[in-house]
Structure 1
Amino acid sequence: MTADSFKVRHVDLAVANSGGHGEPALSIFWWRDLPLGARASLQDELPYGASQLHQLAAEFAAAQLEARGNGLGAPLRATYEGWPKPALSLEAALEAENLVESLEEFAISSSASADDISVVICTRDRGPALADCLRSVAAQRSTPGEIIVVDNSSDGNAKGVCGQFANVRYVHEPQPGLSHARNAGIRASRLNIIAFTDDDVEVHPGWTAEIGRAFADRDVDALTGLVLPARLDTAAQCCFQFTMGGFGTTFVPLTFDRRFFEETRPSGAHVWKIGAGANMAFQRSVFERVGMFDERLGAGAAGCSEDSELWYRLLATGGACLYEPRAVVFHHHRSDWQGLKRQIRAYMKGHVAALVAQYDNFGDRGNIVRIGKQLPVYFLKTFVKALFEGPPGRLAILASEVQGWVAGLQFLLRFGWRKRRIAMRVAAADAKGIAK
């Protein structure tokens, strides 16, 4: 894609909307409240014709039927090779009777109660963004049992914003670090399901209802959901979404379980594929069993990956996480290049730190293999491809990734930092205080 900005358009295929025209667009396709897929198109590729929309509907319906249909082992289980492909070919999907109509069943909006859900939002010096986030949470069709804002600023500047919203509980956690803030939210929460989102996110009106339905229908310990871009107005935002992959683009449910963990373990279990901390939820029992977020990791500490490290512990001890794209949030990506490069550097630094922590906790050498072999190979392949094929700005982002990797290597030599690793039995004992 060569455009520096894309209009984010939401197209409901149930009403045969063409998706508009006039400028490059990322079209997010829905069937009523069910997200189906996304396509990026340049100006001369729009608008979509009726036959194109019909073909897209058939393709998406085949994928949803495979993933959600009764008797087909739904939801699909993630594997080392990636996500399973629909068994139906596109030709078969176009010829199948009532295939598109099956979307109506899958698209029924959840009416599940959210009374047992604590929503935790961690924030730091983002008053206007926090207000937008809280407005979206207040508009949920299933009102959560409680809403907790954890202010991680030094001066408690989010308190005034929280005072503008009814039924929002304010918690000040001055110890810097996202993991400190999330753990403070867990301790403050009272309910059995704890859902997390971020202050640069707006949630879909059905977010809490879909979380409630997923935990009611599936025997899983944790859940992640679909994170869509709110806007793609700048080249930096487009780079993060299209070149770096955003926060994932899978539109069918997947189960991440012990099989996935064991298949990917030799190369460092690929837990970062499970989802994003901007859209995740846990049974309270998870924290009682495996401990809370590692406060050495995350924004304000090592950089990030406190969420994936927790998923690592969960899967390593026999737990399972469901990715359910019906639980949707909209993320505001970094809009400027400097902000994006800082973010990518922090992501890679935190990723390496989490790999070190995972090795220390479980002795899985695949984590060290990823640090010392897989990531350098990835850097080299990306450099060669970017040198000859682009896209513009990719080499600068790669430089930030390499800088983050180098910065993360320090954690291999910080023996005092490594001695503070989470011992499973100690973490579980420390977490008893959150049991209600």
Structure 2
Amino acid sequence: MISVIIPHLNQADQLEACLCSLDAQSLPRQLFNIVVVDNGSTAPPVDVIARHEGVRLLHEPRPGPGPARNTGAAAVRSEILAFIDADCRAHPDWLRSIHQALEAYPRGTILGGDVRIWGSDQRPLNAIAAYESVFAYRFKLYIEQHGYAGTGNMAMFRRDFEAVGPFAGIEVAEDMDWGRAARAAGFTFRYVEDMIVFHPARRSLQELYQKWDRQIVHYRNMADGKPRWRLRWIAQALVVFVSPAPGAITVLTSDRIKGVANRLKAIAVLCAVRMHRATTMLSVIRKGRTVSWNR
């Protein structure tokens, strides 16, 4: 049995699309259950849940998707836990791929899959979708080079989750933090190409900036207190400042985007985002900011 755990906060329309994608899974419905954990929405998604048979709605008052996922995991007894975000849509074979991969890999393996921008195979794309098709949700890179999987598309045996421990709160990037703890406990992350979920592109450059503002504060909180962290932080900001040049090469050679026009749009957004990231990193050296999600 697989339990699908979905943290939710003020995303009723996206949750509806997510649950519809889970209704369409090729894995037989009796082999999985779904738990939505609301994290303090203005209006809990009661009506959305009622339209989907067998979906359970829980509530977690502590802010952050990490605590919401912990509540969902604690409330189920399935052998396998699968995590997806409320604003994602699962490929029809998502759960089947998880089931097959966990049977194939050795014990102690944590799975992460591919996250694609919804509609990224269409042409032309708008500038934000073109950029995010290349640079957003690079789970293969996270897993193979940085040793952690994003929680928007991750699965594992329950016993392994319990051995590592719960996700952290909103103050840090809970996927990176949990990944470090998992590696320290001897677990291995595996990228599963056929384990696919889709995420809509953000609607504006401002939304992209907000996403990076949140991530930068997470990274600052995780770096704070380490030896010479401010010098390292400034050096990293300078690297980000000059990074559009190699980033443009990534755009031009990526197989996740097609067409000259789409690539030029992606490069334009790349330059804007990297400049914003560098200036924001320098602005938070003295004092961090409050972290929130979906507000």
TM-score interval, smaller chain:
0.7 to 0.9
Pick from 264, 267, 270 the counterpart of residue 394 of structure 1: 270
Matching residue's letter, 2:25 = Q
Match of 1:51 in 2: none
Counterpart of 1:135?
A: 20
> 1:223 aligned to 97, 108, 111, which one?
111
Counterpart of 2:35 in structure 1 is: 148
Matching residue's letter, 2:274: L
Q: Secondary structure at the match of 1:214?
A: helix
1:38-53 correspondence to structure 2 within 5 Å: none
Q: How does 1:414-433 map to 2 (within 5 A)?
A: none
* 3-state SS of 1:210 partner: helix
**Structure 2 residue aligned with 1:345:** 213
* Shift in alpha-carbon separation, 1:286–1:356, aligned structure 2, 3 A: farther
Q: 2:96 aligns with which of 209, 215, 218?
A: 209
How many angstroms apart in 2 are the aligned matches of 1:166 and 1:140? 14
Report if aligned partners of 1:306, 1:354 keep a CA contact under 8 Å in 2. Answer: no
| Mapping 1:210-289, distance limit 5 Å | 210-219=97-106, 220-232=108-120, 233-242=125-134, 245-248=135-138, 250=140, 270-271=146-147, 274-289=148-163
- In 2, are the aligned partners of 1:346 and 1:404 still within 8 Å (CA)? no
C-alpha contact 1:356 1:412 (8 A) present in aligned 2 = no
| Cα shift at 1:208 | 0.6
Q: CA RMSD in A?
A: 3.2
Q: 1:147 & 1:287 partners in 2: Cα distance?
A: 17
Give the match for residue 309 of structure 1.
Answer: 177
| Aligned counterparts of 2:277 and 2:3: Cα–Cα separation in 1 | 35
Larger Rg: 1
Deviations 1:378-431 (A, max 9, x none): 2242267799x99324343123313543466468899xxxxxxxxxxxxxxxxx
What is the alpha-carbon distance in structure 1 between the residues aligned to residue 25 and residue 131 of structure 2? 31
1:328 aligns with one of 185, 188, 196: 196
1:231 offset after TM fit, Å?
A: 2.6
**2:259 maps to 1:372:** no
User: Secondary structure in 2 aligned to 1:194?
Assistant: strand
Are the counterparts in 2 of residues 224 and 323 from structure 1 also a CA contact under 8 Å? yes
Structure 1 segment 116-127 matched on structure 2, within 5 A: 116-127=1-12
Residue in 2 aligned with 1:13? none
Give the structure 2 partner of residue 185 of structure 1. Answer: 72
CA distance in 1, matches of 2:233, 2:283: 13
TM-score with structure 2 length normalisation?
Answer: 0.78
Q: Deviations over 1:145-167 (max 9, x none)?
A: 21001111344521210111001
Q: Distance in 1 between matches of 2:247 and 2:26?
A: 45
Q: Which has the higher contact order (CA 8 A, sep 6+)?
A: 2
Post-superposition shift, 1:308?
A: 1.6
Aligned equivalents of 1:282 and 1:410: distance in 2? 39
Output one character per residue of 1:79-130: Cα deviation in whole Å (capped at 9) or x when no partner.
xxxxxxxxxxxxxxxxxxxxxxxxxxxxxxxxxxxxx211001111111111
Aligned residue pair count: 267
Q: Which runs of 5+ in 2 are unaligned?
A: 249-263, 291-295
Amino acid in the other structure paired with 1:223? L
Distance 1:310 1:248, change over 3 A: same
Question: Displaced runs of 4+ in structure 1, greater than 6 A?
Answer: 383-387, 411-414
Unaligned stretches of 5+ in structure 1? 1-115, 261-269, 360-364, 415-436
* Alpha-carbon distance in structure 2 between the residues aligned to 1:223 and 1:141: 19
Mapped to 1, the partners of 2:157 and 2:191 lie a distance apart of 14
Cα pair distance change 1:371/1:307, threshold 3 Å: farther
Aligned residues of 1:350 and 1:408 also touching (Cα < 8 A): no
Specify the code of the residue in structure 2 equivalent to 1:139.
Answer: A
**SS at the partner of 1:391?**
helix
